[in-house]
Structure 1
Amino acid sequence: MFVTVASMMVTYAMTVLWSIAGMGVTGLPYVKSHTRLKTSRMLLLWMSYAGALLASIWLALIIILYVRSGWWSVEGIVKTILPVVLVGYAPVFLYALPRLRGLRRSVPDQETLIRTAHPMLIIPNYAAALASGIAAYHTVFSQPTLPSLLETLGILLLFLLVLVVPSLFVFRRYQAIREGTFTASPAWKRLLKFALAGATTAVVAIAILAVQAWTDYRTSILPEASGMMNHERIDTGGGAPAMMLGHQARHNHTGMVAVAALTGDLSAPVDIQYELVAQKRQITLASGAKVEAWTYNGEVAPQLRARQGENVEVKLINRDIDKGVTIHWHGYNVPNAMDGVPGMTQNVVRPGESFTYRFRAEQEGTYWFHSHQQAAEQVRNGLFGSFIVEPQEETANSDEEVILINHNWTTDRGEKTAFGDQDLMQRKQIMPGKTVKLRLINANNQSQKYMLLGSDYSITSIDGTPVRQPDSLSGQTAFRLAAGGRYDVSFTMPDHPVQFKLGETIDLEGPGILFYTNSLPNRPSFQAATGLFDPSEYGEPAVNEVTAATEFDKEFRMILGNRMGFYNGEFHFLWTVNGEVYPHTPTFVVKEGETIKTTFINKSLSEHPMHLHGHHMTVLKKNGKRVKTPWVTDTLNVEPDESYEVAFLADNPGMWMDHCHILEHAAVGMVLHLMYDNVMPSYEAGMRSGNLPE
């Protein structure tokens, strides 16, 4: 995050500095005395040197980012913004600075007047200010990712067109001075002219941007109906297209399988059955705050449990959720037709309808489920719950188990954070020596920081996958859980209180649990955690098909960015993958049995918990360096300025979403799809079908 924030601040400072310098050199012809001219000249020289220093710092930050995260992290900047900055700054050092230094012995006379009004003293400062402004804008509002030559030329053309307007004013004044027809206007008139020039420049820039915005608006409108795979932007990851060639001649369906057929074995007897009814219901949090919630079975975060190896059947019934619902088994590698993505793996379940999910519970661990129909709204309103799969062998590794689902609620008393419906500090008595397992699920839309104070502990599982030989962590070590992520945390109860809580403050307020032994303490004392857990240096390395691989069958990259623009006709702060938003993002195509590597590079201003359906990813590298302990995850939080290399085995055929699990980001385009090369779509998304996946 440091490099992004630093670049943003530096480019803003460059813009302000060169703008002031531009105003300063514009006013030089109006200076009346040698002393004031000398002072103004010195100030402008120092400002120019400061501008050069800031530009050097900006270039150094680009180099740092390149060294840290590789070429992909700086490619867009180097190909688009750097040329504009070079074009804008070069005239300052080639023309403006030599002329400014040449004013050293000048006295206010006609010759000095001509020299101070020379366009090549003034316009380069405008160019530097404009170039810095373009760099600042693109740092925050429109980050270039994989630019074409046309995009680079477009930005350069915009730069030159906007520069024309103030240049005309400068040339006109210079001509009047040379011809002796120039008379100095009162200060208020000069300010008015300067404002007029600025306003005219702004109008030109806005007009150009308006044309771009209109094009963006028209192309942003989502179709009434569409397939979920983008055939125009196929990315085969450097490998052979294989059977995707058959997609081009798909009419014969040779060797192809439809998503709807990827159900798994439906003939096996069912071991455990559940029924979930999606319905609206008012719930009350522990504080008394009321929520107009959307629920499964009228409960907050209902719990489903199974044992590893059992066949699970869950019947979803929609009672009154108008736009329909589904169930996605987050982190669970179910058969594709059971994944719960409307328009991709099923049709949405409308009011009065039902859908039955059936799959074998192969993976043990802590998981959760939620609706994937307009998920940003539906999960927020409460359509989620926990899914716990116990190991096949009876292994009593804890005496007490607590399931905690962190979520933010909109209540009649404002925003409330809770574990389930518990937005106050809970109290729980545990006898000394007992082992406690906390199953933590973050159903929030941002990563959350937690502390376990008063005891050492271990993180025994990450996203449902057991950690090999987990180390003991001090109570002075906090941990952060990605949106959608899960940790299992275990500790042995000491003979004094232990507190688990959300956030960084030490108090007995807000959501959390105070564990105590014989009697409830009045005001237990704890010391705040200062360290932060790092899974890349914890336990023993994961060992699987991809951890020892030196080459992969397919390699993909996902550059995560942001820009201002339209999505489906509405203006948003957009979150992009490779510079685009869905449905213009690429479709990654793989073949069953291949090893796949994906590189995440976050150039944006926000974290992004990247979640791949149907597969678990093994984290191999962070910021270009191999991690000490590769770990397995399905929701990887990628912070700004970070890059990760992850890999997985393509062993679950189908069409799968790959998206940011800050669901508001997915809702405006941070989504793409992983497609097995022999799979055909069975459904359509869009308003016509009512399938609205996020």
Structure 2
Amino acid sequence: MFETITSMLLTYAVTALWLIVGTAAAGLPYVKGIFQRKVWRTLLLWISYIGLALALLWFILIISQWVRNGWWFVEGILKTILPIMLIGYVPLVLYTLPLLRRLRVSTADVSSSDSMITTTDPRLLIPIYAAAFASGIAAFHTIFSQPTLPGLLETVLMITLYLFVLVVPSYIVIRRYQAIMKGTFTVAPLWKRLLKFALAGLTTAIVAIGVVAFQAWSDFHASKLPEASDMMNHHWLDEGGGTPTMMTGHQNHANHVNMVEVAKLTGDISAPADIHYELVAQKQEVTFASGAKIEAWTYNGEVAPELRARQGEMVEVKLMNRDIDKGVTIHWHGYNVPNAMDGVPGMTQNVVNPGESFTYKFRAEQAGTYWFHSHQQAAEQVRNGLFGSFIVEPSEETASYDEEVTLINHNWNTDQGEKTAFKDQDRVQKMQVKPGKIVLLRLINANNQSQKYFLQGSEYKITSIDGTPIRQPDRLSDQTAFRLAAGGRYDVTFTMPNHPVLLKLGDSTDMEGPSVVFYGNLPPDPISFKAESSLFDPSQYGKPADSELTSVTRFDREFRMVLGNRLGFYNGKMNYLWTINGEVYPHTPTLVVKEGEKIKTTFINKSLSEHPMHLHGHQMTVLKKNGKRVQTPWVTDTLNVNPDEMYEVAFIADNPGMWMDHCHILDHAAVGMTLHLMYDHVMPSFEAGVRSGNMPE
């Protein structure tokens, strides 16, 4: 993030400097008096040196990113922004600076006509404007349109548009210079010169806005989501450099004898259910501990209900929709259910409309802490409360704890403003635990952003990440904080001491908001909160994951996902878009794999936000961070990738189907940060879009 912010500040500063220099240089012919001219020209020269130094610093920053993080972090900038910067800055160095130096040492003997000719020379002014526009484009793309993987056509178009915007100021400068050379130029009053300058700026702005408007008009129409689709982008099939699949060169695969439809990928569900739940999606007014109220969307009228099973059991969950107008589903987040049970409307099932039901059935193969939520317009539905926890106990009694507490946190919009709560508890909770007892905390972040947690008053261990146990976890100091990705889960254990222990959510140092105080014999007095000394890093914790993927030297397929952002239209509405490889869904690539292959994916975050990347149906083993092999590879299903970070992860293609792979900041997924992984022998069974009502996010 430091590099991005620094780049932004540099480009904005340089843009402002060149606009100042350009405005001042345009007024050079009108400065009277030898001393005033000397001062004016000297200032312009030194400001130009400063602008050039800042531009050089920006270039060094980009090169250092290349050296430290790799080509993929800078590819878009070097292919698009750098050529534009060179077009602006090379003439500046070759012509403008020498002219400014010559003007600075001019003597009083220089005739006014010669001075007028020199100070209006297009080679003095046009490069300044070109440098200002180039720096402005670089500044714009830092925030509003991260260049990621541009092709030759995109590069040529950007350079062409840049040159087109330069036409107006260049024309005015050249016309003035020609008039001076012919002796027909007259010095107009100041108000006329200011008016002409304003009109020139307005004309340039109109040209620039016209170009942007034309592009926006094209984007507006291209952004409309199809009325119906099978959710796969068949025009951009990314096979990861592996051997050709059955998808290659085929759009209709029904004739392949080995093809199977998603709806048939149910797994073996012939055995009777060992445990059965019924969940009714309904609207229900909920009152929080503080008294705040919200019209929540719930399962069974309860905030975040907990479902439990034992490893190996056949689980059956019947979902019924009472009054959620747009329909609902259940996605088992992090749980590798068969594809037909994954709960993605339009991909693995049809949405469950009011009055309808759908039964999920699968065998609980994985033990650990998981959660479930609706995947129908999830940015809205999860925000309003359609989620709960899913706890699977190990088949053999291996518990090394005495007390167990599940805490699932979420942000709510209540009648008293935004509230953060563990379920419906938005204030301090107090729980009595006898000293010496081992406490297991199952922490689930159902919020739309990562959350920081503190556990103070006792050393502790993080024993599991996203349901997968950590091998030989180390003890952590009570001043070590940990951050949980949106959608992520940690299991945390500590031994209750003879004094209170505090679990606190968030960065604030006061005791407002959700927290839990564990105490022994007597309820505690207010306890103090200590500042953190370090932040937990899973890449340097415990022993490496027990995975065959950590020793693989050659993968069957390798995919790259560059995460960016840009301002634009999505489904006909202006929005801040979050992109994968420069595109938004449904134009993002479809990743194609074969069953049994070992797959590597590289996440590269060039955007201005964190992105918890969540792959359905599979666990990812983290191998590298920022190009370096991590000390302790770990297994996750929701990997938080911060700005300017790069991760290499791997998984085995062992769960056939069509799977979503998206950012779990659900607002990001809702405006494009989604793509899909498909096995080459799987065919769609459903369609997404307004025609079917299946609206996955």
- Structure 1 and Structure 2 fold alike (TM over 0.5): yes
- Residue 508 of structure 1 and its aligned partner are, at CA, apart by 2.4
Q: Corresponding residue for 1:499?
A: 502
| Post-superposition CA distance 1:540-583 (Å, at most 9, x none) | 00021211101100000000000011110000000000000000
Q: Which amino acid is the alignment partner of residue 477 of structure 2?
A: S
Q: Which amino acid is the alignment partner of residue 433 of structure 1?
A: G
- Residue 244 of structure 1 and its aligned partner are, at CA, apart by 1.7
Matched, 1:600 2:608: no
| Post-superposition CA distance 1:455-511 (Å, at most 9, x none) | 110000000000000000001100000000000111111111111111123332210
> Helix, strand or coil: the match of 1:244?
coil
Choose 59-68 or 4-13, whichever is displaced more.
59-68
Q: Which amino acid is the alignment partner of residue 497 of structure 2?
A: P
> Helix, strand or coil: the match of 2:548?
coil
Q: Which amino acid is the alignment partner of residue 76 of structure 1?
A: G
> Helix, strand or coil: the match of 1:276?
strand
Counterpart Cα distance in 2 of 1:405 and 1:193: 63
Q: Corresponding residue for 2:296?
A: 293
Q: Which amino acid is the alignment partner of residue 70 of structure 2?
A: G
| Post-superposition CA distance 1:606-647 (Å, at most 9, x none) | 000000000000000000000000000000000000000000
Q: Over aligned residues, Cα RMSD in angstroms?
A: 1.0
Contact 1:326–1:348 under 8 Å retained in 2: yes
Q: Corresponding residue for 1:644?
A: 647
Counterpart Cα distance in 1 of 2:521 and 2:292: 31
Contact 1:577–1:670 under 8 Å retained in 2: yes
Q: Which amino acid is the alignment partner of residue 173 of structure 2?
A: V
Matched, 1:72 2:72: yes
Counterpart Cα distance in 2 of 1:251 and 1:525: 66
> Helix, strand or coil: the match of 1:547?
helix
> Helix, strand or coil: the match of 1:232?
coil
- Residue 228 of structure 1 and its aligned partner are, at CA, apart by 1.3
Structure 1 stretches lacking a partner, 5+ long? none
Contact 1:557–1:599 under 8 Å retained in 2: yes
Alignment of 1:33-72 (within 5 A): 33-72=33-72
Q: Which amino acid is the alignment partner of residue 242 of structure 2?
A: G
Question: Pick from 618, 623, 633: which aligns with 1:620?
Answer: 623
Counterpart Cα distance in 2 of 1:678 and 1:658: 19
| Post-superposition CA distance 1:49-73 (Å, at most 9, x none) | 1111111111111112212221111
Q: Corresponding residue for 1:240?
A: 243
Q: Corresponding residue for 2:106?
A: 105
Contact 1:106–1:112 under 8 Å retained in 2: no
Contact 1:289–1:411 under 8 Å retained in 2: yes
Q: Corresponding residue for 2:16?
A: 16
Contact 1:454–1:526 under 8 Å retained in 2: no
Contact 1:545–1:649 under 8 Å retained in 2: no
- Residue 517 of structure 1 and its aligned partner are, at CA, apart by 1.5
Alignment of 1:473-484 (within 5 A): 473-484=476-487
- Residue 247 of structure 1 and its aligned partner are, at CA, apart by 4.3
- Residue 280 of structure 1 and its aligned partner are, at CA, apart by 0.4
Q: Which amino acid is the alignment partner of residue 425 of structure 1?
A: V
Counterpart Cα distance in 2 of 1:598 and 1:533: 24
Counterpart Cα distance in 1 of 2:233 and 2:199: 48
Matched, 1:371 2:374: yes
| Post-superposition CA distance 1:20-57 (Å, at most 9, x none) | 11111111101101111111111111111111111111
> Helix, strand or coil: the match of 2:633?
strand
Q: Which amino acid is the alignment partner of residue 232 of structure 2?
A: M
- Residue 681 of structure 1 and its aligned partner are, at CA, apart by 0.3
Q: Corresponding residue for 1:522?
A: 525
Counterpart Cα distance in 2 of 1:505 and 1:665: 26
Alignment of 1:399-548 (within 5 A): 399-548=402-551
Matched, 1:252 2:255: yes
Counterpart Cα distance in 1 of 2:638 and 2:338: 19
Counterpart Cα distance in 2 of 1:481 and 1:227: 33
Percent identity, aligned pairs only, is 72
Q: Corresponding residue for 1:389?
A: 392
Choose 103-112 or 590-599, whichever is displaced more.
103-112
Question: Pick from 125, 128, 147: which aligns with 1:144?
Answer: 147
Counterpart Cα distance in 1 of 2:190 and 2:436: 82
- Residue 249 of structure 1 and its aligned partner are, at CA, apart by 4.7
| Post-superposition CA distance 1:86-131 (Å, at most 9, x none) | 0110110010011111111243611111111111111110000000
Counterpart Cα distance in 2 of 1:506 and 1:570: 40
- Residue 180 of structure 1 and its aligned partner are, at CA, apart by 2.6
Q: Which amino acid is the alignment partner of residue 632 of structure 1?
A: V
Matched, 1:328 2:331: yes
Counterpart Cα distance in 2 of 1:439 and 1:91: 62
Matched, 1:192 2:195: yes
Q: Corresponding residue for 1:180?
A: 183
Alignment of 1:241-280 (within 5 A): 241-245=244-248, 247-280=250-283
Q: Corresponding residue for 1:86?
A: 86
Question: Pick from 524, 549, 564: which aligns with 2:567?
Answer: 564
Contact 1:255–1:678 under 8 Å retained in 2: yes
- Residue 396 of structure 1 and its aligned partner are, at CA, apart by 2.8
Q: Which amino acid is the alignment partner of residue 68 of structure 1?
A: R
Question: Pick from 155, 159, 164: which aligns with 1:156?
Answer: 159
Q: Structure 1 residues 276 and 247 mapped into 2: Cα distance closer, same or farther (>3 Å)? A: farther
Choose 524-533 or 662-671, whichever is displaced more.
524-533
Matched, 1:549 2:549: no
Matched, 1:209 2:212: yes
Q: Corresponding residue for 2:578?
A: 575
